[in-house]
Structure formats: structure tokens, C-alpha cells
Structure 1
Amino acid sequence: MANNYDVIVIGSGPGGYVTAIRSAQLGLKTAIVEREHLGGICLNWGCIPTKALLRSAEILHYGEHAKDYGLVLEGKISADIKAVVQRSRGVSARLNGGVAFLMKKNKIDVIWGEAKLTKASTAGQPAEIVVSKSSKKPMEPQNPVPKGTLGDGTYTAKHIIVATGARPRALPGIEPDGKLIWTYFEAMVPPEMPKSLLVMGSGAIGIEFASFYRTMGADVTVVELLPNVMPVEDAEISAFARKQFEKQGIKIITDAKVTKVDKASNSVTAHIETKDGKVQQITADRLISAVGVQGNIENLGLEALGVKTERGCIATDGYGKTNVSGIYAIGDVAGPPMLAHKAEHEGVICVEKIAGVPNVHPLEKDKIPGCTYCNPQVASVGLTEAKAKEQGYDIRVGRYQFAANGKAIALGEDQGLVKTIFDKKTGQLLGAHMVGAEVTELIQGFVVAMNLETTEEELMHSVFPHPTLSEMMKESVLDAYGRVLNA
């Protein structure tokens, strides 16, 4: 039957399209269903376009501080927000077209529309989905529906992988309206630059937008419910980052929540209650709601088939398998950490297990790095110091400041910290945490080390090139064992 496949993937975000490619590589007849835009949220409205925006802000920052590097730039440096947004959207459009090319190259059928699971795989019969016309708005003009795309109809497959991603979470009474209260969608394409901004939530999304808008000249206030900004990070790294954010002029209120919002014609007034019960009001042009995301599990037919969900996400084992035969889930819809690289790896594991590839290892969530592209950048992998102690480890902790590194000083980026955590008994690297320039590029060295079950001995015997920022990684290890050389 023409509409029958080995694998159908629902959702073409990083997890979905990578899974489809790996499926095709393994010789499985594969299709992917998409209702809005190839590449999903990450490529079109998340990871990639935000990095383009942040790059523009970074260049602006360097231009404003040209004298620090002995340079003189004629005239005032300023930002054209429309051009900045246009560049960001262009970057997304280019990559969106790249995903379409990869689907064609790997002979993956693209089915355009909204999918609903209608049958599980039973008694040798394939699972089934029904695809209907999408209720979503048409994609941007630069991202047309690929030629040869399939549409409405019934499709069957031995294995159906749900990769529908997540969407911004909304708080009751403070729901985004697209004008005064924004999600990351509106924050990415502002028609004009707000003079003041209130950011509700200091996770990766909130703090990245706070960093972008502050660099672009807005007066920015961040409100965080928990005691620390970027609360999933190591407390010491969080505290260091907070000081740098505040030096840049970002106002931060922790242990506080927005309880109510009053809207005017072109501004919002937030009522902010702190832990001690005091309430203050802050008026800003716009408010960004960045209080997390929730899985897209609705209208998929999960309930009718009895697919188990937990905390708004689909429950799976370490290989993406659900409790229902023939149905799998990967990426954000399968639960935290909600990161694109987690989704990609999770999808590869899932489809390789389906294909019977030998020695497929289940996902190890404690070895997934996290990166936040604010200024300064923050990156981490493994256990924080508090979590390591909580789990009963007797630990060694090493630290190394950017201020002692020659390359960081030469770059004019001497504010940062590298922190490593080891099991005192075995020398196992339990966690690594960084804040400073380019740490999102450096963290992978520690990720590889952890996956190879490296101890301090191998890291100490590794030769790091000079002069580089990476030398601080080794110095942090040496510091944990009382052998630091350049401090």
C-alpha cells in the first residue's frame, strides 16, 4: 500500500527530522508529518534565530566598546531592529530549506497536515494515523511547502514516533496576548524596540532575551520565583552570572512572583510579590512570559489509545518506547531536559533500537550538556555541587578564573569561571560548570570526558593548546587536586 511505511515520525523539529534521516539510513521506508514548518520550533522560532539575534547584540556590544581594543569607529553605533530581525529570519529560512533538501536527499516522504493516532500496532497489524488539513497559519513566504509533499489521508506504519515538541507555558491571568505580553515568538520579531521590558522567568529563554534586549538598549527587569537566576545551574555559577548581568544594568528580583498584570494602551504594570509578602509595581512597555514550556500532547489521540502521560509529557523508557505497542515518543514531548540535542540523540537511539542495531545504549540524561547564550555565556554538564553532596558523594571541587587566563585577557573577556566536581574516592568527573566567553563551545570537552568515564588522571595528562580558553578546563581539574599551576 502506497501509504504504508516502516516508520512515520510526527513532527519535523530537530528530533523529528534527524530521527527520520537515521531511519532512512537504516533502510526503513520513512515518512514525516509536519503541520507548520520544517525544522520545528528550534530552527524557526527558537535555538537558531535567537542565536542570530544574540550575535547582532554581541557585535553591537563590541562596537560600543571599540576603544577598549584600541580602535576608533566614526559616528554613533546604533541598531536597526528591523534589519536585525530580518537577518534572524533569513538565517531560519536558509536552514528550513536545508531540512527540505535533506528529506528529499534521503527519500523521506513529507506529509503536510495534523496527525492523529487512530490505531496501535496489534496482532501483526501496523499502527495508523489520520492526517487532516493543518489549523495553523501558513508558513512565512520564504519557507514554502516543499514540492511533492503529501497531504490529507490515512497512513500506516509498523512504528510511529511522536516528536511534536513543546510550546510556551502560560500562567492564569497573565496569558500572552501577542501585543503587550509576549512569548518567545513575539520577542523574536519586535516591530520596534521597547524602551523597557519585564522578563518573567530566568531560565535559558528568559535570560537570553534579557541579555539581548539590554544590550540593544532596553531597560530590563527580570523576576524569578526561586532564590537564584538560572536555577538549574550550579549556585556558584548562577551567583557569578548574576553579578555580571547586574553590572550590565539588568535589574534582577529573585524569590518573587508576578501575581497580577494591569494593561494600558501601550504598557503593562506588573504586581510583584516577594517572599516576605511585600508587593511592588513595575511598569514596562512589554512583558515576556518565560516560565517554561509544556509538551504538545493534545489532539494526538493518545487518550483513546491509552498512551501513558506524566506531568504533561508522554512517558517512555530509555529508548523512546511508550506503554502502547508501535507508539514511541522523543524530544520535548517526552519530557525534560527539553533541549534540541537531547531530542536528536533520543531519536537516533529510538530508531536504532527499532531497527535492531546492536549495542544501543539508553539515553543518559545526566550527561546531556546545557547551554545558555546570554552575556556571559553559561554551560554545564552533570551534577552541581549541591546535587553531588545530596547524592552522598564525598567530592573534590576545582575552580579557575578567566582573569588568570592569557587568552581571555587578550580577548578582553576576563570575567568568568570554570568549576569541576570530582568523586574524591574514584576520581570520576561528576560535573562541570562554566560561565564566561565561549563556554558553550568549551563544555563539549567535559561531555566527552564524562562519556569516556574519564578520571582526573586522564584529564591531567591531556595536553591543552596554548594560548586558549580551554587551558582553564585543565587548570580547574588541577585545582581540585591542589596542583593548579597558573593561579
Structure 2
Amino acid sequence: MTTTCKVLVVGGGPGGYVAAIRSGQLGLDTVLVEADRPGGTCLIRGCIPSKALIHAATRYEELLAHAGSGKLGISLTSSPELNLGNMMGWKDGIVDRLTQGVEGLLKKAGVKVIKGWAEFSDAKHCVVSTAEGKVNLQAEHVILANGSQATQLPNIPYGEHVISSTEALELTSVPGHLVVIGAGYIGLELGIAYRKLGARVTFIEGQDQILSLYDKEMTRPIEQWLKKQKIDLHLKAKADSVETMNGRPLLNFIDKNGEQQQLEADKVLVTVGRKPNVEGWGIDNMCLDMDGPFVKVDKQCRTAMKNVWAIGDLVGEPMLAHKASAQGEMVAEIIAGYRREFDSVAIPAVCFTEPEIVSIGLTPDQAKEAGHEIIVGTFPFAAIGKALTMEAGQDGGFVRITARKSDHVILGIHAVGAHIAELSGEFSLALEMGARLEDLAHTIHVHPSLSEATMEAAMAGLGKAIHTSQR
């Protein structure tokens, strides 16, 4: 027996479940197939649990600072005690609460959820292997939201001592020495969190800087934090292999001078990127065009096969949950007859490092390369009163706005500093609305608040910053 539906969504991550919910809201007969719980990598083993760990690690670090003589007039008579197992339990509770919430939303939207693994025989037919047996499905529209997985180094396979970000979020004891291969956003976020929890941390990075997609002005505050925390950073280095000695992993790597080096660790965390999930579900039977490792789509996320759509990590960079969600909502509405296309001016990216980084739109160098004559306004957190009251003004943070000189239209906003992620919505809105420097400079921002840095950076671009000597 074959079950038919109007819309079949494969993958219950932030792209897939949003596509399914929106399809259900629009009255489309919708089936969602997901092998795990709804929520995907982001909710279950990525964005949400990592941010919970980062928050808890930061709270522990803050409490440590109050032990003994203390700070801010607050002192503790003894140091706080860490129970990582309990911390992970708290983190898992948040994940459980959110996945249950997604399940409730799917049910409310009338989406039928099938837990299992879908394998396609052609573009519109698949067999889902479930715990109860096989289910045959046929759909008029198929939305592929299969997501991505951590990239594994062929010469350093995962095992007891070599872990991915998934296992790093499940540890019940803090490694004495954590070696992180890759100083991108995933590696830095987890490495910094474990340093706050007391681990010694070493980074092995093949590029000549951390967070290679960002300019050095942006990464400098993070490098300063790493140095202050005595974190070893090996740039232009290549991880070679891992062997076991006395029950502990020994990482062999080639340093920037081409010399062979060794590091004894307790855990080796591999964070060298992610790759789309294109294996094991019959993609070769669907007649789809590929763009390198990704599924090729147009501005409406249509694939080469009629009524087959692909969204999220499956279709390329940036591999971000909010991009996937936006695409999923769009596709559902197109199927329902709406006129939509994916035409975002820029997609914001955030690194929850120490301090945080926000990036949206063009950097000054990128704008120049695109042929724009630009003006740049920068304002430091050190001149923001609210930042100082939150102990967030001395980390080198700032907001930088890049605008076109001829008409002052904002081309990009980049910022680094404590809690700066919370300003990403304002930055995104400015670019999507085609705002000019005058729009941000003349919008009254609350005092005292961190958002004043946005207004002041715009004013600096206009040559009239108030609370800084920079002109």
C-alpha cells in the first residue's frame, strides 16, 4: 500500500520542520519524515546545546572570579563546585523541551510525522524504514531538507579519544587537555567553553588566522582573549595522525615551519567543517543537478526535477539554521501559490566566541573589491556606558558600519563584543530595508544600552560621533 500526500518533507531540522509547519498551516496535506527527533542538528546536537554549554561555562567562570577576595564587592568563601554531568543534564532538558515544542507545533499544523529513514526510488517515490516496518510514500511535491554532518578527517577517524562536536556536547568530565583541530566558529565556541570549565586547550589551525572568513580587525579581540587565557594556538599547522600512548591520545602535527610536533591530550576534538548529507537516501535516483557537493537550486529553491525542492545545508553556504528556516517557509508558500523567491540582501552570521562576533553584508575590503567607494564608521564598546557597567567595555569590542560614499546606503555591519549577537536583528533589518547612515544615526536608541554603539558608529561614518574622539 502506498500513502500519498501533497507535500513530503525529508528532514526535521530548522529548514524541514518550518517547511512542514508552514505547509500544514496553508492547508496542504503534509508528511514529514525524520529519523531522529524533530529539531535536527541545530536543536539536538548543535546550536542550542552548544549555547547552553557556553552559558553554563560562562556562569561557572564568573562564580570562580568571586571566590576569595572576590570582585565587584562580591566574594565567595569557597570556590564553586562543578558537576559536568549535571550541567549536561540541564542542557539536555532544554533540548527536550524544545523538541517537544516542535512536535506540538507539527501536530497543531496537521502534519503527519513518520519516524524513519527515507530512500527514494525516483523523484516522487520513497520507502521509509521505520521501527514498525516499511512505509511507501508518493508525493506531488518533495522538499529535501537532509541537512549536513561533521566532516571527518580520513587520517584521524573518530573513536574513544577523537571526537566530533556531537560527543563534545555529551562529555561528563572536563578533559585535562583538549586539543581542537580547527579554529573556525565551532571549534572556538567549544574550545572556549571548555577552557572556562578548567580544561587546558590547544588549537591546531591550517590557516594563518582564526576564523578565516573574518578580517583580522574582527578576530583581534578573540585572539587577545585566547592569549590572556594561556590557550596555545598553532596557526598554519596540519594535523597528521593520532596514536595512543599510555591510554591517552597523542596528536602528531606539522607546525608552520614544516617540523613534526607531538601533543599529548585527553581528548582530540575535530571541527574542520561540515558537509551536506547526500548519501544513503537515493539522491542518484532523483535526477538532480549538483553544484559541487551541494544540490543545485534556483532562487526559489527549485531543483532540476519538477516539484522537487531543496533547502538549508543541502544547497550550500552559509550553513545556518535561520537561512534554512527562511527557505523552508518560502518553499511552502510557493507550493501554496504565493509569489516568493529567496532574495535576502545578506544573511547574518554569529560566532558565540569570547567575545561574540556578528557579520552581515560586505566588509570594507569586500566592498572595495566590488567597486564601491566607501566610508566606514567604527565605534568602540569602551565608550559605551552600559558596556562598562556589564564589564564588557574592555575586551576590544566595537561596531563597524560600511556604507557607500555616494548615497550613504549601508553595505555591511560587523561587530565584536559581549552580547553583540543580540544586536544582529537591528543590523539585518538595516540592510534589508536599504537603510542609510542617516537612518541609524537619527534613530533614537535607548540610553544606557549596547545598541547605542550602532547609532554612534553611524554617526562616526557621517563624521559627527559624539562620545569618542575619533573623526
TM-score by length of 1: 0.92
CA contact (8 A) 2:15 2:328 kept: yes
Deviation at 1:151, TM superposition (A): 6.2
Among the aligned pairs, what percent are the same residue?
34
More off after superposition, 82-91 vs 258-267: 258-267
1:394 aligns with one of 373, 384, 388: 373
User: Quick one: distance in 1 between partners of 2:74 and 2:386?
Assistant: 19
Paired position in structure 2 for 1:375: 354
Give the secondary structure class of the aligned counterpart of 2:21: helix
Q: 2:147 aligns with which of 162, 165, 171?
A: 165
Give the secondary structure class of the aligned counterpart of 1:222. strand
Q: Distance in 2 between matches of 1:362 and 1:286?
A: 41
C-alpha separation in 2, matches of 1:384 and 1:171: 31
Secondary structure of residue in 2 paired with 1:69: coil
Which has the larger displacement, 334-343 or 424-433?
424-433
| Kept after mapping to 2: 8 A contact 1:320/1:347 | no
CA-based RMSD of the aligned residues comes to 1.6
Distance 1:389 1:273, change over 3 A: farther
Q: Separation in 1 of the partners of 2:222 and 2:326?
A: 29
Change in 2 beyond 3 A, CA 1:180/1:265: farther
Match for residue 133 of structure 1 among 130, 133, 148: 130
- Give the SS at the match of 2:298: coil
Structure 2: distance between partners of 1:275 and 1:249: 20
Distance 1:265 1:90 in 2: 36
What SS does structure 2 have at the residue aligned with 1:226?
coil
Supply the distance in 2 between the matched residues of 1:383 and 1:225 (Cα, whole angstroms): 25
Distance 1:234 1:351 in 2: 37
Aligned match of 1:105:
108
Say whether the 8 Å CA contact 1:234–1:433 is kept in structure 2.
no
| Residue 427, structure 1, aligned to residue 408, structure 2 | yes
Q: Look up the match of 1:346.
A: 327
Is contact 1:113–1:151 with CA below 8 Å preserved after alignment? Answer: no
Partner of 1:90: 93
Match in the other structure for 2:9: 9
Gap runs ≥5 in structure 2: none
State the shift of 1:372 in Å: 1.3
Determine which of 321, 338, 341 is the counterpart of 1:361: 341
2:73 aligns to what? 70
* Cα displacement (A) at 1:336: 1.1
2:212 aligns with one of 231, 235, 242: 231
Distance 2:325 2:253 in 1: 38
1:152 lines up with 2:131 in the alignment: no
**Paired residues, what number?**
463
Contact 2:121 2:282 in 1 (8 A): yes
What does residue 162 of structure 2 align with?
181
Q: Which runs of 5+ in 1 are unaligned?
A: 121-126, 135-149
Letter of the structure 1 residue corresponding to residue 62 of structure 2: Y
Q: Could you tell me which residue of structure 1 aligns to residue 221 of structure 2? A: 240
Structure 1 range deviating more: 101-110 or 248-257: 248-257
The CA deviation string for residues 272-313 of structure 1, in whole angstroms up to 9 with x for no partner, is 223432332222111100000111111222212221222322
Q: Distance in 2 between matches of 1:206 and 1:47?
A: 13
Q: 1:44 to 1:265 in 2, by over 3 A?
A: farther
Query: Which residue pairs with 1:448 in the alignment?
Result: 429
Is the 8 Å Cα contact of residues 210 and 250 (structure 1) preserved in structure 2? no
Q: Which runs of 4+ in 1 moved over 6 A?
A: none
Residue 57 of structure 2 aligns with which residue? 57
Residue equivalent to 2:296? 315
Name the amino acid aligned to 1:100: E
Q: TM-score, normalised by structure 2?
A: 0.95
Q: Distance in 1 between matches of 2:334 and 2:119?
A: 24
Determine the C-alpha separation between the residues in 2 that align with 1:329 and 1:29.
Answer: 19
Distance 1:389 1:270, change over 3 A: farther
Aligned equivalents of 1:245, 1:317: Cα separation in 2: 41
Answering whether residue 283 of structure 2 is matched by residue 302 of structure 1, we say yes
Partner SS for 1:14: coil
Amino acid at match of 1:5: C
Contact residue 34 and residue 110 of structure 1 kept, 8 A:
yes
- Partner amino acid for 1:25? Q
In 1, Cα distance between equivalents of 2:187 and 2:83: 22
